[in-house]
């Protein structure tokens, strides 16, 4: 008898017929390299990588004799561009495929010739936009030429001054903004309230600029993300955001998003700014109304309502017309009553976490608050012209405190309506 293996495990021999069968199967399955034929490969080829988004990394603005000017932007590879003009206010719009703008902080702020300033950013899925604000009527031509270095190109936007009549003839209707798909419907047995968070501005519409150089769109987006995460963690609410990235969404699309989703509450987040008065600070909560509570609220609503126009996406009176056509005055009054109820809860909640404006509760005709069947408020979280407000809103601790305070107000509001 053969001695057992050193590891103590006895090996058993396979029957000869079974061993022959296994060898035959292995020989059949193994890839072969016959004469003149490559061995077969059974692994699937990896999918082709998605082309990288071109990067815009440098810009320059200069004027020419005779009132002309040019904006030159260096881009990592050639792109196709289209250009058109808009009136009231006068603007030149340049549409591009999606571009990753990595321009310096001062880009677009230099006035030259007919150019007052320009803005840039993501306008819709796969589409970027440059908006040039004009000091005088001017028309533009766009050229893309090789820059001779690693496939780089230079986008040249050349503006020439024209008279008002010529500019008016060239101006045409703005392009329609792509719709925002509402969130998927909840299962029938999910009765949790749906809260829509609306980070103001985005993409080509940066909003106000803080004294530290940051844009309103980025500050409020960070706070919106923190609030969304906090709401989801409770498990008590369904949550959706009107934008999940730095992209432009028109005011009418934001309202439509909340309505189509059948939202129970919509919170639009913004940050205020003043030309002067650095000492003014604190949060304010606005509800929608036909008549502004004061002159400042009226001016702020007018400014916010013009954000579509500044991005080259004039939306007219679509939201208000829809309100008048569809729902009764009774429904609108009930919705506004609920909006005021939540606004009062929010004033009390935010007051424990953030400094509040001396008149924290106001109202005006904000287009984003015109959903006739969705209680909505607009929160100005602070002043970007106040260094203390900026420090608070851009800190992790400040975002956490604001999120906790808003959550507390949401809990109180739905409790008052008999919702879990």
* pTM more than 0.85: no
pLDDT score of 301: 93
Cβ partners under 8 Å of residue 32, min gap 6: 39, 40
Domain 55-170 in CATH 2.60.40.3500: yes
Nearest to 391 by CA among 383, 186, 347, 15: 383
Enter the tokens of residue 390. Answer: 């900026």
268 vs 406: CA distance, rounded Å: 12
261 vs 257: CA distance, rounded Å: 6
pLDDT score of 26: 44
pLDDT score of 326: 52
Nearest to 99 by CA among 65, 60, 130: 130
Q: Is the pLDDT of residue 396 over 60?
A: yes
> For residue range 176-230, what is the model confidence (pLDDT) as tens digits?
444 566 677 778 788 899 999 999 999 989 999 998 889 999 999 999 999 999 9
Burial class (CB in 10 A: 0-12, 13-18, 19+), 236: middle
Domain boundaries, the chain: 55-170, 194-416
Q: What is the mean pLDDT of residues 40-54?
A: 54
What is the side-by-side order of every strand in the sheet holding 127-134?
Answer: 82-86, 91-97, 127-134, 115-124
Q: Which of the residue ranges 155-164, 183-192, 273-282 has the most confident prediction, judged by mean pLDDT?
A: 155-164
> For residue range 286-341, what is the model confidence (pLDDT) as tens digits?
999 999 999 999 999 999 998 887 777 765 544 444 555 555 677 888 999 999 99
**269 contacts 197 by C-beta, under 8 angstroms:** yes
Q: What is the mean pLDDT of residues 250-271?
A: 94
**Residue with the two structure tokens 């040019």:** 70
Dihedral over alpha carbons 153, 155, 156, 162 (to 10 degrees):
160
Phi and psi angles of residue 143, each rounded to the nearest 5 degrees, phi first: -130, 145
5 vs 400: CA distance, rounded Å: 66
Q: Band of the pLDDT at 44, cuts 50, 70, 90?
A: very low
- Give the domain 194-416 fold: Aminopeptidase (3.40.630)
pLDDT score of 36: 42
The DSSP 8-state label assigned to residue 369 in this structure reads G
Mean pLDDT score of the chain: 83
């Amino acid at each position: 008898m053969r001695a057992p293996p050193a590891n103590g495990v006895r090996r058993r021999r396979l029957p000869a017929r079974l061993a022959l069968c296994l060898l035959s199967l292995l020989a059949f399955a193994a890839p072969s390299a016959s004469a003149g034929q490559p061995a077969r490969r059974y692994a699937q080829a990896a999918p082709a990588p998605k082309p990288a988004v071109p990067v815009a990394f440098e810009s320059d603005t200069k004027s020419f004799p005779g009132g002309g000017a040019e904006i030159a932007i260096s881009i990592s590879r050639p792109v196709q561009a289209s250009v058109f003009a808009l009136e009231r206010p006068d603007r030149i719009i340049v549409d591009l495929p999606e571009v990753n703008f990595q321009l310096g902080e001062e880009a677009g702020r230099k006035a030259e010739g007919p150019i007052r300033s320009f803005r840039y950013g993501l306008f819709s899925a796969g589409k970027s936009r440059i908006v040039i604000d004009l000091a005088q009527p001017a028309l533009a031509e766009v050229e893309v030429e090789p820059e001779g270095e690693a496939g780089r190109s230079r986008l040249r936007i050349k503006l020439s001054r024209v008279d008002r009549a010529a500019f008016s003839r060239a101006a045409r209707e703005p392009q329609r903004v792509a719709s925002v798909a509402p969130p998927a419907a909840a299962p029938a047995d999910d009765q949790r309230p749906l809260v829509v968070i609306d980070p103001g501005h985005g993409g080509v519409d940066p909003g106000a600029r803080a004294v530290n150089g940051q844009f309103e769109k980025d500050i409020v987006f960070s706070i919106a993300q923190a609030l969304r995460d906090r709401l989801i963690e409770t498990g008590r609410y369904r949550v959706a955001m009107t934008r999940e990235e730095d992209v432009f969404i028109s005011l009418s699309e934001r309202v439509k998003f909340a309505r189509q989703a059948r939202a129970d509450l919509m919170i639009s987040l913004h940050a205020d700014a003043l030309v002067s008065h650095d000492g003014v600070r604190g949060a304010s909560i606005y509800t929608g109304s036909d008549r502004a509570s004061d002159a400042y609220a009226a001016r702020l609503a007018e400014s916010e309502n013009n954000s579509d126009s500044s991005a080259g996406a004039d939306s007219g009176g679509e939201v208000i017309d829809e309100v008048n056509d569809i729902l009764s005055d009774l429904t609108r009054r009930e919705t506004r009553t609920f909006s005021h109820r939540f606004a009062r809860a929010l004033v009390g909640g935010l007051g424990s976490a953030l400094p509040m404006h001396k008149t924290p509760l106001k109202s005006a005709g904000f287009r984003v608050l015109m959903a006739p069947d969705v209680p909505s408020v607009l929160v100005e979280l602070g002043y970007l012209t106040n260094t203390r407000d900026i420090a608070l809103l851009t800190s992790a601790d400040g975002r956490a405190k604001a999120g906790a305070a808003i959550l507390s107000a949401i809990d109180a509001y739905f409790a008052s309506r008999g919702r879990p």
